[in-house]
Amino acid sequence: DGGVGAIYVIFGSRVPFSSNLDYTSLNQNQGFVIKDASGILANASVGGGGDLNGDGLSDIVVTAGGNVFTVFGSNFSNTITTM
């Protein structure tokens, strides 16, 4: 798609995924993609942030290039296309 890179977030499950999970075409039950068109996420670190905003959903913290980004948990099926 011409982008520089991406972070693939795979949701945990009590039922194992098939051995041929295609991370490039995740559905809303499997995970989501954070696409990086700018290259800022090169050498990024991703970690669970707990529930940072108190909404009862787990959040994700991404650090890259001296920046910290928070992805707030939600029930959604979209991708984040620009950072």
Indicate whether this model's pTM tops 0.85: no
Q: pLDDT by residue (tens digit) across 19-59?
A: 788 887 887 778 888 888 788 887 888 888 889 999 888 89
What does the alpha-carbon distance between residue 39 and residue 19 come to, in Å, rounded to a whole number? 30
The rounded mean pLDDT for the chain is 79
> Is pLDDT at 60 greater than 60 in this prediction?
yes
The residue written with tokens 């041929």 in the block is 20
Half-sphere exposure of 6 toward its Cβ, with a 13 Å CA cutoff?
Answer: 18
> Is pLDDT at 3 greater than 60 in this prediction?
no
Per-residue pLDDT at 83: 46
Per-residue pLDDT at 61: 92
SS3 string of the chain? CCCCEEEEEECCCCCCCCCCCCHHHCCCCCEEEEEECCCCCCCCEEEEEECCCCCCCCEEEEEECCEEEEECCCCCCCCECCC
